[in-house]
Amino acid sequence: MTAEVLPAPVAAPVAAPAIELAGAARWYGNVVAVNDVSFSLGAGVTGLLGPNGAGKTTLLHMLAGFLAPSAGTVRVLGRSPHRDPSVYRQIGLVPERESVYSFLTGFEYVRYNGRLQGLANADSAARVAIARVGLEDAADRPIGTYSKGMRQRAKVAGALVHEPQVLLLDEPFNGMDPRQRLAMMDLLGEMANAGRTILFSSHILEEVERIGTEILVMVAGRLAASGDFRAIRALMTDRPHTVTIHSSDDRKLATTLMADSAVFAVELQPNGLSVRTAHLSAFRRIVATSCQAAQVRLLEVLPADESLESVFDYLVRR
């Protein structure tokens, strides 16, 4: 037999997603934490969103190999991570809980993580990881003396020390101050650009929106949506789009806009016109020409419900 006889499987590994769930579920007794979830993720950064208790942490723990799925399959880099240390070598996990030993220094903690992953050069790898999170100055102090933001960064360094291909972070921004948040956003972006797969959970939607557009939204154990949130918004055809427009003469512009079939409601408000349309693309093409026709000066155009916050709201509060 030669390779030519079986061409299909040879090409497959290149396209294999880093994370793949098929019908994955996890229940604790009668409590269903994760219910029939299927998705796959490749390289890049993805935000994991959902209300408290939606199953985000359980999902991350299944991906990290802590928990076996009660039903369905969970695959990381093509293999089931549960009880498979060879997969752990490729996974970095930043858990939500305080999971650091207060009597170790930051450096020792990160080095031990490196040794746990079987690194031959744990010392130098720990130095590199500490520098990446900007913790050099405090590296030789016990973690017990750290502030919350510093402990958080020590956890991130511990998860990065073995240069994992897949990084899972549960509320990584928790306790970080504004400057540390900006640095962490940059770090996640850099690692995603370097081809790693990063999945992080967060409640701070405006931050998620700045890191990337790919999201997974969980509601009550189920996957409510996945993908680019702008594409998800576009699929919500039952939700008309609202655009706020301010011009030199809003009343005059309102009459012109109302004549267009793309528009089905216009409301005069103190800060401009609130225009509702079922055909956003069509509407976007007539805004400027309508202003020309009405002979008004166009001062401001703002999409009112296209943000991640609106999309999340529509998904969760239905």
Closest approach of Cβ 291 to another protein, in Å? Answer: 5
Name the residue nearer to another protein (CB basis): 203 or 239.
203
Look-up: residue for tokens 């401009």?
272
CA–CA distance, 241 with 233 (Å, rounded to integer): 9
Query: Which stretches of the chain are DSSP H helices?
Result: 7-15, 56-63, 85-88, 106-116, 122-132, 148-160, 178-193, 205-211, 229-235, 250-258, 280-294, 308-316
Name the residue nearer to another protein (CB basis): 17 or 134.
134
Closest approach of Cβ 145 to another protein, in Å? Answer: 10
CA–CA distance, 170 with 189 (Å, rounded to integer): 16
Name the residue nearer to another protein (CB basis): 116 or 298.
298
CA–CA distance, 298 with 287 (Å, rounded to integer): 9
Closest approach of Cβ 62 to another protein, in Å? Answer: 21
Distances (CA, A) of 112 to 14, 47, 121: 33, 29, 11
Interaxial angle between packed helices 148-160 and 178-193, expressed in degrees from 0 to 180 and rounded to the nearest 10:
10
Name the residue nearer to another protein (CB basis): 38 or 147.
147
Residue in 50, 1, 61 with CA at minimum distance from that of residue 28: 61
Name the residue nearer to another protein (CB basis): 72 or 134.
134
Name the residue nearer to another protein (CB basis): 93 or 205.
205
Closest approach of Cβ 5 to another protein, in Å? Answer: 47
Binding interface with another protein (CB under 8 A): 49-53, 134-137, 147-150, 174-183, 203-206, 281, 284-285, 287-289, 291-292, 297-303, 309, 312-313, 316-317
Q: What are phi and psi of 190, to 5 degrees?
A: -60, -45
Q: What is the DSSP letter of 137?
A: G
Question: Nearest 5°: CA angle at 134, between 116 and 179?
Answer: 130
Closest approach of Cβ 306 to another protein, in Å? Answer: 8
Closest approach of Cβ 220 to another protein, in Å? Answer: 13
Name the residue nearer to another protein (CB basis): 91 or 311.
311
How many CB atoms sit inside 10 A of residue 90's CB? Answer: 20
Residue in 132, 139, 116 with CA at minimum distance from that of residue 191: 132
Name, in order, each residue with C-beta under 8 angstroms of 304's C-beta and a sequence gap of 6 or more: 242, 243, 244, 274, 310
Name the residue nearer to another protein (CB basis): 52 or 86.
52
Closest approach of Cβ 245 to another protein, in Å? Answer: 9
Closest approach of Cβ 80 to another protein, in Å? Answer: 30
